[in-house]
Amino acid sequence: MLRLAFRNLFQSKVRLAISVGGIALALMLVLTLDAIMTGAEKRLTAYIDNSEADVWVAQSGIRNLHMVSSWIPASVRNEVSEVPGSSQ
């Protein structure tokens, strides 16, 4: 079985080169997109990372602050603003 696989793989050198090139291109694209997402995430969270806040308050279900809106009722906002050291 393995012998047949190697024979088919090396039967046409051009097809082998195209296949290896395609796999290399796909891997390069995946790594490039990962680098772009990592860079974007670092830039988008720079405010959060550099702020002095210990606690962030958001509505239920918000997992991160990237491209979301969080609406907090006025009653909760008033309760949060009463905590010492909080700011709005």
| Cα–Cα distance measured from residue 81 to residue 72, given in angstroms and rounded to the nearest whole number | 12
Per-residue pLDDT of the chain (88 residues; tens, 9 = 90+): 888 888 887 888 898 899 899 999 999 999 999 999 999 888 877 877 888 777 777 777 777 776 677 677 878 878 877 777 766 6
Q: Which pLDDT score, from 0 to 100, does residue 20 have?
A: 92
Phi, psi of 87, deg, nearest 5:
-140, 160
Q: pTM of this prediction?
A: 0.54
Where along the chain do its domains lie? 1-44, 52-88
